[in-house]
Structure 1
Amino acid sequence: MESRRQLKGRGKSPTHRIFEKPIARRERVFGAAHATAIQRSPLQIEVPLKCKWRRRVGDLPVEIPGAQPADADDGHHGIVVGEIGPFELDPATRRSLDNALGLGGSRFTVMQSKLPGEAATGRQDMGIHVSTEGVRVAAAQGSGYQNRDSKEIYAEYSPDYPKVIIHPLDTSKFQLVMNEVKTFHLIALSRTSRDLIALTIRCFHAKKFMSTPSILQTVLPVQLPDTAGCFPQ
């Protein structure tokens, strides 16, 4: 979209072009593409403009570090790339992740986040069981609060679910999306515990749908020998 504003006494009209690019499902990146001051004469003057790129996570825009907008050398168009990772794990967390993957699963204790309008005492202890086949969430044994989500929920790995969405600001909060209609808003016991839950689920999910043979077939496809002109012996 464009917006024009007259500059008093200069006869110039700067044009600001603001655009958005879709990055992924439910994610958008916003930025200012370019701004110029147009005189009534053919001369054009470039106006320096600093912009920031942000990804929309739900309703919250989160800045993408290191992303640069296209400049005049690119003709004011191009591709913006944002990356997450690789993850740097301390030795203790790495050992815990290796143990979980080697044993074929692990159990984690979390707390369900308070919903809007709910009393602070309404939080419920939950248990997450991550295995090679799927993720199971249920109320922790001995939890006295059973009014919300007391039934066990299980989700097998599929191309889209289950998935973990890390809170961009809080180091212990995350969302566990089990399917199209069921999402848990959870609080881990610590940042390390939250990261371990996310990494364990993502590793098992990747192994389920990105097997070593399929990766090798994509990277190094099998080349069938050229049999043209050859006759069986």
Structure 2
Amino acid sequence: MRDVLISGKTSFKVEVPYKLIETGKKGEKPLIVYLHGYDQNIEYFEKKTEKLLNIEAYHLFIQGPYPIYDKTGKVNVSKWGRAWYLYDGNQGQFIKSMEVASEFIQEIIDGLVGVIQISRLCVFGYSMGGYLGGYFAFSRWKHVNDLIVIGGRIKTEAFEGKRDQARHINILALHGKNDTSVYPAPQKECIELLQKEGFNASFKLIDAGHQVETAFIDQAKKWLKDSGYVEC
């Protein structure tokens, strides 16, 4: 005889590292939130985006909460790559998972308010971090001013009938013309849709693949400076 007495769900918390770097003069300045790609971590992403640290701002690097198991057994857990959400092809699960990750990011930012003076907020996301960055910006539109998505796609369909409220957000989408992991055409179509709806959104193809290449960082830095961000 076997009886299931209780079956349910409960939360399980894990420690997730983040790093806040201040560059330039003290006082009020922009906050740039960096969201790395799949199987990356904040240490790797900070090195890849080092040129952006010349922008006078608070630079917040957050690590994805889901560890990517290292099958070799030779890498310390702290060095494992990370993921931002769980996706099995089910769109409902996809949105739910991104919402949970967005709540997690918002909690970190909320903890900084009152400690630092933020003049504007930019979300910078690459690949998986780009998908999440787009979702975060459109779901937390009151807080976000600028959005940079590299090698990802803004899920505009998830905000059907709700996009107008985010029209103040300046958007830059960069994509590698040789990207075969995340093809550029769908992102281009999303940006064109946003442009028709009155967004200040631009899409640019770069001679690159699906990597965090210098050409992407240079274009992002130029766009930030053209948008009013100041170099140290």
* TM norm. shorter chain > 0.5: no
Q: Larger relative contact order (C-alpha < 8 A, sep ≥ 6)?
A: 2
User: More helix per residue: 1 or 2?
Assistant: 2
Q: Which has the higher strand share?
A: 1
TM category (shorter chain) comes to under 0.3
